[in-house]
């Protein structure tokens, strides 16, 4: 069964779900023996944080998957002004934003709450914003439904959301992961300026052939005199749902010929570059270098890679795949199939989207309607019955 097999595996490794305190260990970046080895840019001494959240208790393996949970962490594009306002009353959230301000060098909380929108939308800002807000939402889930944390057996994140999943799993320290996200976002922004491009959301009919459409778009660009045009699938979202990225002239060709290509809907995304394509190649080495300096552990629960939809197996595997992710398509549809395939269509765990937006819930609904029956979103704004705690 889905739950028992995963929990038995954790038991064999003599590890359980680590406490939320350890997952979000703000005080001591680096190794558990107290020695710090922070990469350049992370303050050697972070602000003191008196964190005593409830410890995650180990339980015996359960046979019913509905007693287990899966956490999904969103990526860039889910951000909006006002996110995080509903989380400030929960333990440790303000502390997390305080640490973020020290690492990033600007007031991330103010940017999330009040904008301006044009600044929040920038890659260098929105990636850290989504990362921190998603982990802050974990505090809300832990407060309102600690069993969802305690019985979590798997996690996955979309693009930058993968870092939040890894922090939650105990694989990477919060502060070091945030610094890696900072470097990643800056490198991707620079790559976008060196090699301008865009992204196009596409929904097609069953007859659509996305890779062949990209080949046609590149041939069109070559006919215009472009050398080495780039156009490829960047995100596999759900059946017949893709994001295609590359040079703008190639994306224009796809839009102008959408009916011939059997696309039912095309929509340009408001992003600064062609993410998850070879146009991000210049971002690889700066990001690889910072990952060399970040301590990485094997995740305590199953965490799935965007690169191939498979779970991480080791520390080196995490490092390799995170670097490869920059220039590889996000295989989100494949990841969801991998997570839920063990249920054999009978019983499903509770799934929580933890962070801004509900895009991952929408993709889950298109990929697996039965699993979506047990889906919930952890709100990051103020509920109607909440006080303004800002």
Comparing 107 with 43, the larger pLDDT belongs to: 107
Sequence-ordered strand ranges (E) for 239-311:
241-246, 263-268, 302-304
Mean pLDDT, range 104-112, rounded to an integer: 98
pLDDT band for position 63 (50/70/90)? low
pLDDT of residue 343: 60
pLDDT of residue 127: 98
Residue bearing tokens 């990001």 = 287
pTM value?
Answer: 0.86
Which tens digit of pLDDT belongs to each residue from 274-311?
999 999 999 999 999 999 999 999 999 999 999 999 99
Which tens digit of pLDDT belongs to each residue from 222-232?
999 999 999 99
* Cα–Cα distance, 22 to 31 (Å, whole number): 11
Q: Is the pLDDT of residue 15 over 70?
A: no
pLDDT of residue 388: 44
Which tens digit of pLDDT belongs to each residue from 341-355?
866 556 899 999 999
Q: Is the pLDDT of residue 21 over 80?
A: no
- What is the token pair recorded at 207? 């007859």
pLDDT of residue 185: 98
* Cα–Cα distance, 270 to 264 (Å, whole number): 20
Q: Is the pLDDT of residue 24 over 50?
A: no
Choose among 311, 343, 369: nearest CA to 3.
Answer: 343
Collect all residues with Cβ–Cβ distance below 8 Å to 16 and sequence separation of at least 6: 10, 56, 58, 300
**Cis-peptide into 104, omega within 30 deg:** no
- What is the token pair recorded at 239? 């059946």
DSSP 8-state symbol, 53: P
C-alpha distance from residue 315 to each of 62, 135, 156, 251, 260 (Å): 28, 21, 16, 37, 46
* Cα–Cα distance, 310 to 175 (Å, whole number): 26
Comparing 94 with 52, the larger pLDDT belongs to: 94
Q: Is the pLDDT of residue 122 over 60?
A: yes
Q: Is the pLDDT of residue 387 over 80?
A: no
Which tens digit of pLDDT belongs to each residue from 306-330?
999 999 999 999 999 999 999 999 9
Residue bearing tokens 């191939």 = 308
Choose among 380, 351, 355: nearest CA to 134.
Answer: 355
* Cα–Cα distance, 47 to 49 (Å, whole number): 6
User: Which value, in Å, is the radius of gyration of the alpha carbons in the chain?
Assistant: 21
pLDDT band for position 49 (50/70/90)? very low
pLDDT of residue 345: 55
Return the percentage of the chain with pLDDT > 90, whole number: 78
- What is the token pair recorded at 69? 């949970």
Comparing 64 with 203, the larger pLDDT belongs to: 203
User: Which of 46-55, 122-131, 154-163, 210-219 is predicted with the least confidence, judged by mean pLDDT?
Assistant: 46-55
pLDDT of residue 241: 97
Domain ranges of the chain: 2-192+280-378, 197-271
pLDDT of residue 16: 32
Residues carrying an active site annotation: 159, 276
Choose among 127, 88, 140: nearest CA to 109.
Answer: 88
pLDDT of residue 344: 57
Contact 66, 348 (CB under 8 A): yes
Comparing 345 with 90, the larger pLDDT belongs to: 90
Alpha-helical runs (H) found in 257-358: 284-293, 315-325, 332-340
> Class assignment of domain 2-192+280-378?
alpha beta
> Taking the alpha carbons of 69, 139, 178, 114 in that order, is the dihedral positive or negative?
positive
Which tens digit of pLDDT belongs to each residue from 232-278?
999 999 999 999 999 999 999 999 999 999 999 999 998 989 999 99
The CATH label, of 3.40.50.261, 3.30.70.250, 3.40.1260.10, 3.40.50.2000, for the domain at 197-271 is 3.30.70.250
pLDDT band for position 38 (50/70/90)? very low
pLDDT of residue 368: 95
pLDDT of residue 75: 96
Contact 175, 290 (CB under 8 A): no
Mean pLDDT, range 21-49, rounded to an integer: 42
């Amino acid at each position: 069964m889905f739950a028992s097999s995963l929990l038995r595996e954790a038991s064999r490794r003599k590890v359980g779900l680590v406490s939320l305190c350890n997952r979000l260990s703000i005080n001591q970046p680096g190794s558990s023996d107290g020695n710090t080895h922070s990469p350049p840019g992370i303050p050697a001494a972070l602000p003191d944080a008196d964190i005593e959240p409830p410890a995650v208790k180990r339980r015996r393996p359960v046979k019913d998957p509905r007693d287990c949970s899966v956490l999904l962490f969103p990526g860039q594009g889910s951000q909006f002004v006002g996110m995080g306002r509903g989380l400030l009353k929960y333990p440790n959230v303000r502390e997390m934003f305080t640490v973020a301000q020290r690492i990033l060098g600007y007031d991330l909380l103010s940017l999330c709450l009040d904008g301006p929108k044009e600044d929040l939308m920038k890659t260098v800002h929105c990636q850290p914003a989504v990362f921190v807000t998603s982990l802050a939402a974990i505090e809300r889930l832990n407060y309102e439904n600690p069993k969802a944390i305690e019985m979590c057996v798997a996690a996955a994140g979309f693009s930058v959301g993968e870092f939040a999943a890894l922090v939650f799993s105990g694989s990477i320290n919060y502060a070091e992961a945030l610094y890696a996200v900072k470097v990643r976002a800056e490198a991707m922004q620079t790559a976008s300026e060196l090699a301008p491009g865009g992204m196009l959301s596409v929904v097609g009919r069953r007859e659509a052939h996305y890779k062949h459409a990209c080949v046609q778009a590149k041939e069109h660009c070559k006919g215009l005199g472009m050398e080495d045009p780039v156009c490829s699938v960047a995100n596999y979202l759900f059946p017949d749902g893709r994001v295609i990225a590359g040079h703008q002239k190639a994306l224009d060709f796809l839009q102008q010929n959408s009916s011939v290509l059997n696309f039912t809907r095309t929509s340009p995304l408001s992003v600064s570059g062609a993410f998850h394509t070879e146009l991000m190649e210049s971002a690889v080495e700066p990001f690889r270098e910072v990952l060399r300096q970040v301590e990485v552990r094997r995740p305590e629960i199953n965490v799935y890679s965007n690169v191939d939809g498979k779970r991480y197996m080791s520390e080196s595997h995490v490092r390799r795949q995170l670097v490869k992710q920059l220039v590889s398509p996000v295989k989100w549809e494949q990841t969801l199939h991998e997570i839920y395939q063990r249920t054999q269509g009978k019983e499903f765990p509770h799934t929580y989207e933890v962070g801004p937006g509900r895009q991952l819930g929408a993709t889950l609904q298109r990929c697996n309607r039965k699993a979506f029956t047990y889906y919930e979103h952890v709100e990051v704004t103020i509920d109607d019955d909440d006080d303004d705690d800002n």
